[in-house]
Each structure stands twice: as structure tokens, then as C-alpha cells.
């Protein structure tokens, strides 16, 4: 029942931002639908990429709590960013990592647009929890 985060020699390390590998044994997986910066009524919130990422982090926290998980349990994320430029990467990652002590395996995908024009960032995560007893 362990999660091991590895940045092997020979691969670029970005401690605190991403882990190159996450190995999970004897776990149950939690898959979230892609999260965007919307409120509980489905209204867009947040203005720029970083503000939207902060809302998304809160939404992910709420969703994971329903499964008894936290953002520290995230083992894999895919971040979709519309209107991507390299200068948005650090603020988006900083917002997603705020309040979390671990960095998941991570993929960034620049996209021309998301499902609606108000949304700039979408994050898809998988979390690993201990297997239930018995």
C-alpha cells in the first residue's frame, strides 16, 4: 500500500512541480472528470490561467474529498491549456500545487480551445487510495 514518486537519473527533474514516475501498489484508483473553473452552478469563474487553475484546485479538492482523498493522493494529471504560452505554465502549476505536499506525474497539452470560450484550463486527475480492508 505505497505510492512511490521517482525522478530517475537521466530524466529532467522538476521537484515539487511534477514527478516523472508514480508507482502505486495495492491501491484503489479514483478517476475525476476533467475539472474547469466553474462554480457549483456551472458558471465560469476566474479570469486568467492562474486564477482558473486556483478554482480548479479547489474543485479537485472538493471532488476528491467525496471519495475520502486529498490532492496529495493524486498520482497522474493531464492539464489542458487554451491560449497557451510558456509564461502561463509556472502560475498554473503553482496554483495547482498550492496546499499540496506532493507532485503527480503530469502531462501538459496545449489546445486551441476547450468546450466553451470562457475556459482556459482543464485538469484531468487520477488519485490512488489504500485498498479497502478485507
CATH of 3-7+31-130, one of 3.30.70.120, 3.30.1330.40, 3.20.20.140, 3.40.50.2300: 3.30.1330.40
Domain boundaries, the chain: 3-7+31-130
Which position has the grid cell 475556459?
119
pTM of this structure: 0.86
Please report the DSSP string for 75-127 in residue order. Answer: EEEEEEEET--GGGHHHHHHHHHTT-S---EEEEEEES--SSTT--EEEEEEE
Residue pLDDT, tens place only, 21-45:
888 776 788 989 999 999 988 899 9
What confidence tens digit (pLDDT) does each residue in 63-83 have? 999 999 999 999 999 999 999
Using alpha carbons, list the distances in angstroms from residue 106 to 7, 15, 39, 83, 116: 12, 12, 25, 19, 24
The most confident of 18-22, 29-33, 103-107, by mean pLDDT: 103-107
Amino acid at each position: 500500500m505505497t505510492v512511490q514518486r521517482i525522478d530517475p537519473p537521466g530524466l529532467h527533474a522538476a521537484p515539487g512541480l511534477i514527478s516523472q514516475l508514480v508507482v502505486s501498489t495495492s491501491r484503489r484508483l479514483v478517476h475525476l472528470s476533467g475539472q474547469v473553473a466553474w462554480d457549483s452552478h456551472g458558471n465560469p469563474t476566474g479570469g486568467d490561467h492562474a486564477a482558473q487553475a486556483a478554482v480548479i484546485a479547489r474543485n479537485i479538492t472538493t471532488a476528491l474529498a467525496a471519495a475520502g482523498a486529498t490532492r496529495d493522493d493524486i498520482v497522474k494529471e493531464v492539464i489542458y491549456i487554451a491560449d497557451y504560452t510558456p509564461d502561463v505554465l509556472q502560475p498554473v502549476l503553482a496554483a495547482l500545487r498550492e496546499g499540496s505536499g506532493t507532485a503527480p506525474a503530469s502531462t501538459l497539452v496545449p489546445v486551441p480551445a476547450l468546450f466553451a470560450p470562457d475556459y482556459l484550463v482543464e485538469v484531468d486527475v487520477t488519485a490512488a487510495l489504500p485498498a479497502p480492508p478485507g
